[in-house]
Structure 1
Amino acid sequence: MAAPSPSVLSLNLEHAELVFYSGEKIRGALVVQLATPVSVAGVELRFRGSARATWRDHVHEGMRRTEVEHEKEEIYFDDRFCLWGKVTDEGHWETREVLKRGRHLFPFQYKLPDGIPCSFEGPNAYVRYTVQGLVFRTSGECLSTQRCVTVLRDLDSKRDTEKRTPSPRHALEDHAERSFSSVCCRPGRVSCSLSIIKRGYVPGETIKTEIHLHNLSMRKSGVCKLQLKQLLTYGDSHSKYLVLEESKLFDAIRPGQRRQLREFPMHVPPTCPSRLSKCRVIDVRYCLALEAHFTDTVLYAAVPVTIATIPEKGILPIRWGYRECIRPINQDSDEPKEGQCVEFEPKYKYYEEIRDIRREKYYILKLRQSPGVRRRQLIAKSELGACAAEHSELISESHA
């Protein structure tokens, strides 16, 4: 005769995506499936939210080099609730009951605290939220199950009030140049510049970049590439970066060659919003970086960008959902490989299709032969809205 199947414990949550927002209620049920009757002292549910980061620094004392390991943790909540049974004031279980063979349901709901940081998983660091169910048996080990959930918090780049960052609508650019000396020729110079039209973007949006590269030296460059980087800071001191997206621009730039790219696209993948508000363990920021490699140096230009969750005015979100963030390999870390993967990856708000009606408005205003007045009005109402309608009279007068 076959042995009965072991006891099974599972957590059923209402939200199929397992995505919640700070201040929202988590509803569900702890399901206990017993193959045989079990003597139980109580059933408990635990909700925990915390941030943790570990990193290593090297300290030099004379000729001696010492490695120092750091760890920082922050707990946002750690709540326990008795779903079934009775607990004494000292925390001991009083109950001694037998749960019969079969399926038992223990429903629950829990309100997440307001203002907690967004979920995040990084190399040897995380902001993680868990729901754990436990069945304490009168004898033997307790039964336990746990699920991680994603907790999100919206960030609107228009209302980004951080004083040390420029306006989200301010055009940003960076320029870098380097001189190379030569024995037989006068020194040559290489330069690069990178610019974007705005600061704030949402996952799923495309960053349009303008890139200039000029090689006035006698050296041939190596590969030139554009990268979207996630900049991480642990404990206000330790920094590292991850490359989220990368595009190769050119294999090389020859001496005397000038290269220019207008509106070169860089896609924003599903990722954590900029900064982990209310988190004092981990800081998350982003930048767009241009690299031109030479034999003994790298020409580098970078501009900061803000990854938000709410599009700016003038951006039409056609459809959005949640997509899992697959963390890339850290390009600048000597951490062990086992720290490079985790079992859980958060899901972030992601826009499937997105249009910038401001660009369409600009295009129509620049037409050499504008359509008739009636057609312009129809276009303004259906495609551009009230904003473009205000300019239709201006177009008519300019082509009278």
Structure 2
Amino acid sequence: MGKPTRFKLILNDEKTVYFPGNMISGQLVIELDNPMEMEAIAIKFIGQAYVHWTGQQSSGGPSAIENLFYHEDIVPGKSDDNQTSLAKGHHVFPFQYKLPEPLPSSYEDLIGYIRYFVKATIVKPGMFDQNTVRAFTILDSLDLNAIPDAMRPCGGQESKQLCYLCCKSGPIEMEFHTDRSGYVPGEYILLNGTITNSSNTKVEGSSVQLIKRVTYHAMYNSKIVILEVARINGPPVPKHGSITWTNERLRIPPLPPSEINHCKIIDIVYFVQFQAHLRAFATDPRINCRITIGTIPLRNLPLYRNAGTSKIVTGPQTQHIATDIDSATDVLSTQQKSLQPPPLSYAESEDKHLFNINDEDGNEHSMGETSFKPQYTYYAWKESAFTHF
């Protein structure tokens, strides 16, 4: 009875990013060197969230599953004797499915995921089933223009008093702020801050980090994971000295939007953290300010407002920045042309891990993709565009 020489799911136009409510369509391709007996071919459309972390008990730790959608089509249909045969040669089975809405954005991590995929199964009588999987990304739109405080800078102040041999030293004082609170991946965060060291010891260094805080929920338990996703380092601060950060730029890599909506077991928030690094075994003073990472940028920014005839199109199927540069050639100044926004693109997560999407079928009876990284909204701005306006 053998197995196919080719068993593959192909998405139309090789599309990899979808929005809730989109139609997903494609073809299942099967090639056989010999006829194959089977009970049915099933094509399944699956959306699922899952979390699990290791506990100290023998049960293996908390876990949770949230089923987001499930739809199954059976082709070519069962015969009267509950068995059919697929002839030798090339076979193509088209498929399509309208994604429900709302849906949370795709996410992959070592502890949990929000995953979407098409899975085809050849059901064989009395034998192992043959499977193939094709994963894809779903993005839930988060429009920064609908967030009241997205244009407002975030930041704060912090002071730490050092003590040595029961003698108080002068304080280390910090002040820090960002240019706003709402960003999309590909933009740069403008950073301004000062560290004043009135103590009798050197501050070993300074840094700004973009922090992703993920909260996983399972079985009345929660687990918080703090991940650094971007960083820039600053100079040390001598005793009785100070340093100033002026319009330093921190690029936002491809990331899922803040606070994944429509998912009960995974939450994501982002912070920018300004930190003074002290000697070993001392607690570093730091300032945390919460920001929002969205998928649709702020229209009031000079980066987009001065972009000639460009406009932001926010419909879920056509969400991109459309630009008619040719018709504006005689109107735009050289400076305006240089501010044309980059077109919306999608970029893979910069996480170093490739995530196994074949865990349940990871054996010789599985074909197709075995690993996957989701893709996220990304505007490929150059750093030079982010000067102080």
| Residue aligning to 2:365 | none
* Superposition map of 1:1-400 within 5 A: 6-56=4-54, 69-86=61-78, 94-160=81-147, 167-183=149-165, 186-235=168-217, 237-250=222-235, 252-295=236-279, 296-313=282-299, 314=301, 315-316=303-304, 317-327=341-351, 343-353=371-381
CA deviation profile, 1:330-360 (whole Å, cap 9, x unmatched): xxxxxxxxxxxx9311011111137999978
Letter of the 1:209 counterpart:
L
Query: Residue 276 of structure 2 aligns to a residue in which SS?
Result: strand
Secondary structure at 1:127's aligned position in 2? strand
Paired residue type of 1:307: I
Q: Which runs of 5+ in 2 are unaligned?
A: 305-340, 354-369
Deviation at 1:6, TM superposition (A): 4.9
Unaligned runs of 5+ in 1: 60-65, 88-92, 161-165, 330-341, 363-400
- Tell me how far 1:327 sits from its aligned partner: 1.7
Aligned partners of 1:46 and 1:79 also within 8 Å: yes
Provide, for residues 45-87 of structure 1, a one-character-per-residue CA deviation record: whole Å limited to 9, x for no partner. 011111111235679xxxxxx9982112211112211121138
- The CA deviation at 1:119 is 0.2
TM-score (normalised: structure 2): 0.78
What fraction of aligned residue pairs are identical, expressed as a percent? 26
Q: 1:34 to 1:357 in 2, by over 3 A?
A: closer
Instruction: Name the SS of the counterpart of 1:85 in structure 2.
Output: coil
Q: Structure 1 residue 42: deviation in Å?
A: 1.4
The CA deviation string for residues 249-298 of structure 1, in whole angstroms up to 9 with x for no partner, is: 11x21101110011110000001011110111000010110111112121
Q: Deviations over 1:206-261 (max 9, x none)?
A: 000101111000011122111011111111732111111111111x2110111001
* Aligned-residue offset at 1:112: 0.8
- Give, in whole Å, the separation in 1 of the partners of 2:59 and 2:119: 36
Q: Is the 2:161–2:168 Cα contact (8 Å) retained in structure 1?
A: no
Distance 1:79 1:153, change over 3 A: same
Conserved? CA contact 2:181–2:290, under 8 Å: yes
Residues 122, 207 of structure 1: alpha-carbon distance in 2 compared, 3 angstrom cutoff: same
Q: Aligned partner of 1:212: which letter?
A: T
Q: CA offsets per residue over residues 136-178 of structure 1, 9 Å max, x none?
A: 2335322210111111111111213xxxxx7112221121110
Q: Deviations over 1:272-329 (max 9, x none)?
A: 0111101110000101101111121211111111101111013423222111002258
RMSD (Å) for aligned C-alpha atoms = 2.7
* Aligned residue-pair number: 329
Equivalent residue letter for 1:149: F
Kept after mapping to 2: 8 A contact 1:175/1:194: yes
C-alpha distance 5-106 of structure 1, shift in aligned 2 (>3 A): closer
For 1:5 and 1:58, the matched residues in 2 are separated by 42
Q: Distance in 2 between matches of 1:40 and 1:51?
A: 31
- Local SS of the residue matching 2:151: coil
Q: Would the alpha carbon gap of residues 77 and 196 (structure 1) be closer, same or farther in structure 2, given more than 3 Å must change?
A: same
User: Counterpart amino acid of 1:303?
Assistant: C
- SS of equivalent to 2:190: strand
CA distance in structure 1 between the partners assigned to 2:116 and 2:231 by the alignment: 30
Corresponding residue of 1:386: none
More deviation in 48-57 or 66-75? 66-75
Q: What letter corresponds to residue 134 of structure 1 in structure 2?
A: T
Larger radius of gyration: 1
Under a length normalisation based on structure 1, what TM-score does the superposition of the two structures give? 0.76
Highest RCO, 1 vs 2 (Cα 8 Å, sep ≥ 6): 2
Moved over 6 A (4+): 354-360
Q: Assess if the C-alpha contact under 8 Å between 2:49 and 2:112 holds in 1.
A: yes
Q: Name the CA distance, whole Å, in 1 between partners of 2:343 and 2:382.
A: 8
> Letter of the aligned partner of 1:171 in structure 2?
P
